[in-house]
Structures are given as structure tokens and as C-alpha cells.
Amino acid sequence: MASREYKREAVGCVSVEPRQAEMYRRLLKGLLDRRYKVEQCGLRVCFPVTSVHEALKVARENGVDASPCERRFTPSRRVEGIGRLFPSLDVHSYVLVGDIALFHPRPGHPLEELREPASYLVEAMGVKSVYAKLSTVGEERKAKLVLLAGTDNPVTVHREYGLSFQVDVSAAYVNPRLGFERRLVAGEVEPGELVLDLFSGVGGHSIHVASLREAHVVAADINPTAVYLQARNILLNKKRLKGRIDLYMLDARYAPQYFKPVFDRIIADNPTMHARFIGVECSLSREGTIIHHYLVGGEEPPSLHVARLFEDEGCRVRVENTRRVLPYSPRTYIWRMDLRVEKPSRRL
């Protein structure tokens, strides 16, 4: 079985000159597709990336001579090993959060078929716990999990960009694939801004912002476990924070009763329930406020649809940028719409 050839996929990549390769590797950070090995391609070095467009942008901003490409890469040892042992398994259907692996099985997929690869992750790769994540439920965005192998302990420490996040994968939403997205948004913040993180969870957006900028972040979430964990994470990263974070346990629907429309920027990362809170986002905005509004949509950017939803709340916005963040399900994606408020609605 060990001799079975693992299928090599054609993936998007960026090629650079060898003298710039090590510097570029450090710059890529969350954009490097770690499912595959970086390889020599002719006289250049090819990096498999999760977004060719964003990787080229990083190169331009840092003076790296880079070109887009597409090629078949050798899988990393992690992917190659599990792919050879379990060729019928979609080896990219799980994510690692600290020392916990989360499988995302398709609806109706027999969980028993995942137990053997789950045991492999525990025994051969040192993973502590492996769960099947069946769904995310309720306003607190808790996960419905089934233990597949290892210790039944959903608490771990996840690290991204030098920051540490204590998480409970059963009780608070966490998605390590959004690390680069969080960093991108944090990089948009200007020093001195007042930022509202409306669905802050364990502190992903808030802590990234405060680690990069001398900004004031107001973070709020309805989930008491998430708020508790974010408080711990603020302390965990205290030495890395340049900005200030004020933390509230609060149902976002009632935020206009507590906060005035004074924010320079609002991060509204709740894509599956986005429409429910547009009125809240409008009422907390002033003219010129930037809203990072997340939603689930199709293959084309839903710019006009989102602008109309805001218009229906009496809030005129200009769509300044759209970004397809991640696949969500077949032919649907998580999108981020960057909106500038031109005319805010009346306070709720």
C-alpha cells in the first residue's frame, strides 16, 4: 500500500528568482499552500499558494520579481502519507487547530470510514484529538462534534502570525483557514482608528488588529465561552499588542443601545447570518465608516445585492472592494465586501 502513487494536482503558484526565494517564503506566511512542497522549476523557485493574485500583490509590494504559474507539485509528507494510506479519502477535508484535527464530512458520509485515518493522525502524526465537525449551530456558533480518535479534549492553543489563541473547538467558532484573511483586514486599519469587532469570537480579528496597529478595538460577542477565551487570549498576547481592546459580552442586535455611531471601521464577520445585522451595522456607522461585511454568496461578487440590502435600511454605501475569501460549499463562497458609508441611517 505504501507504494501507491498519490495523485498530484495542478495548483496555482508563483515563481521567483532563487536569490529572492527565502525572503519571499517569509513574506508569504499564510498564503503558502502547505499541502505541497516548494520546488525548483527550471532556473526559478515555484511556491504553491492559496491565492495567486494575493501572492503577486505581496511580491509587488516588496520588490520581488515574481510570475504566476500553474504546475503539479509533490504533496507534503503529511498529505502524501495519509493520501497513500487512504486513497478514497479527500485528504484536504480536515484542518489542524493546534493539536486537534477537525474533519468536515459531507452530509451522509459514514463516520466509520473516518475512524481509521483519524487513528493514523493520532498515532503517526502526534495529533491529540480528532473530531468530525457535523455542523455549526445557534447564535453562539457552537460546533456539533463527534470524537473519532484520541482524547476527548476540545481545548487547545492555535498559533498564527506569532500570536497565540486558546480555543475550545466545541464551544466557540474557530477556522484556522481564515488566518490570512484576519491579517489582511488588520493591515487595512490605520493607527488611531476606533474599530468595532461585532462578532469577535475568541479574538481573531481584534487581536490581529491590536498586534499591528495602535488602534482602539471594541470587541463584542454573545457567546460567554468565546468572550472568556478572548480575555485569556488578550493576556496571552499582551506583550505583542500595540493597541487597546475593550471586551463586551453582548448580543449584537442590542449594540446600538450601548454604542454611539462613532466608529471608523466595523468588522462584521458572521457570514451565514449577515442580513440579520445590516441595520445594526448601519446604525453604528457615521459618514466615512468602513464596514468589512462578510456573507455567503455564489461565484460572482454579490456587490449590487449587498448595496441594496443596506439601502433598504436607509444606509447608502459604496462598495470599495470585494474578496472571495474561502469556498463554503459547492459553487458557494464566503465573500468579504468592503463598504464605505456615504449616508448612515438613523440610529435604531
Same-domain pairing of 339 and 213: yes
Chain CA centroid to CA 87, Å:
28
Same-domain pairing of 110 and 64: no
Q: Is 240 domain-assigned?
A: yes
Residues 6+ apart with CB under 8 A from 250: 220, 221, 222, 258
In the beta sheet, which residues pair with residue 203? none
Give the total number of structural domains in the chain.
3
Residue where a domain stops, chosen among 129, 158, 187: 158
Q: What are phi and psi of 81, to 5 degrees?
A: -65, -50
Digits of tens for pLDDT over the chain (348 positions)?
Answer: 333 333 455 788 999 998 888 889 888 877 888 778 888 888 899 999 988 888 999 999 899 999 999 888 876 655 545 555 565 555 446 788 989 989 888 777 788 888 988 888 888 777 899 999 988 888 888 999 999 999 999 999 998 888 999 999 999 999 888 888 998 899 999 999 999 999 999 999 999 999 999 999 999 999 999 999 999 999 999 999 999 999 999 999 999 999 999 999 999 999 999 999 999 999 999 999 999 999 999 989 899 999 999 999 999 999 999 998 888 888 899 999 999 999 888 665
Q: What's the grid cell of residue 224?
A: 460567554
Q: What's the grid cell of residue 298?
A: 455564489
- CA dist., res. 239 & res. 221, Å (int): 24
Same-domain pairing of 175 and 149: no
CATH number, domain at 29? Answer: 3.30.70.2580
DSSP state string for 152-201 = ---EEEEEETTEEEEEETTTS---GGGHHHHHHHHHHPPTT-EEEETT-T
pLDDT value of residue 347: 60
CB 213 within 8 A of CB 189: yes
pLDDT value of residue 124: 72
Q: Specify the pTM.
A: 0.77
Chain CA centroid to CA 229, Å:
18
pLDDT value of residue 335: 95
In the beta sheet, which residues pair with residue 67? 15
CATH number, domain at 110? Answer: 3.30.300.110
Same-domain pairing of 124 and 181: no
Cα Rg of the chain, angstroms: 21
Residue type at 169?
A: V
CATH number, domain at 186? Answer: 3.40.50.150
Q: Is 164 domain-assigned?
A: no
Residue where a domain stops, chosen among 115, 135, 158: 158
Q: What is the DSSP letter of 344?
A: P
Same-domain pairing of 133 and 203: no
pLDDT value of residue 73: 83
Residue 101 domain boundaries: 77-158
- CA dist., res. 156 & res. 172, Å (int): 12
Same-domain pairing of 333 and 247: yes
* DSSP three-state, residue 2: coil
pLDDT value of residue 84: 56
